[in-house]
Amino acid sequence: MWSLTELETEAILLSLRVAATAVIASLPLGILVAWLLARCRFPGKELLNGLVHLPLILPPVVVGYLLLVTLGRNGTVGAWLFDAFGITLAFTWKGAAVASAVMAFPLMVRAIRLSLESIDPRLEQAAWTLGASPRWVFATVTLPLALPGILTGVILAFARSLGEFGATITFVSNIPSETRTLPLALFSLVNTPGGEQGALRLVMISIVIAMLALAASELLARRISARLRG
């Protein structure tokens, strides 16, 4: 029962690859957007905040369709990417990473933003009075103090990426060995006669991966908090 098939193993490895790519690629932008929302005042701030959190409200299928219209081979951005760089996102694992990143981005930004807002501004002001540049203050004071929130955002985004289904299947379809991530493989097994055991295996593996991610997040957050207090 617990022996994985080749397709199930491929789905698990692809999910980990997609989730890791989604988080790594979106983290710099997530930190920047969170900092803008937490520390800056500018026209259109509420609009930016709304756009960032829009994937949490919209049905995932709608997000996937918008990605397909925008980044597909005939889309406004997708056609330019293909003509200029030969890059195709729709119906590829890279497109699955994009869909996962978009759906997980609000969770990442919110966690980092809350962490930035909890930092005492007087610590940054003290560094400024000592002659440190804004970039140096951000790199040596703000960013280290925000590490627990950044870590939380990374783990939440990774877990959300692992579980992404609606936007992924709409944007990149359900192609074995290419875009069939763990949720899509589970969907295929549930709809296949005799696939109950395979579906159960993937469910258990999903639970184990999620629990390991949460445990690692808690452990690392405690260590980082202990070092910061020290």
> Which pLDDT value is given to residue 148?
84
> Which pLDDT value is given to residue 52?
94
> Which pLDDT value is given to residue 172?
94
> Domains of the chain: which residue ranges?
6-229
Which CATH architecture best describes the domain 6-229? Orthogonal Bundle (1.10)
pTM of the model: 0.89
pLDDT tens for residues 88-142? 999 999 999 999 999 999 999 999 999 898 888 888 788 778 777 878 888 888 8
Q: Work out the average pLDDT over 177-181.
A: 90
Distance CA 107, CA 88 (A): 27
Q: How many helices (H) and strands (E) does the chain have?
A: 12, 0
Does residue 77 surpass a pLDDT of 80? yes
pLDDT tens for residues 133-160? 878 888 888 888 888 889 889 988 998 9
pLDDT tens for residues 205-223? 888 888 887 787 778 777 7
> Which pLDDT value is given to residue 158?
92
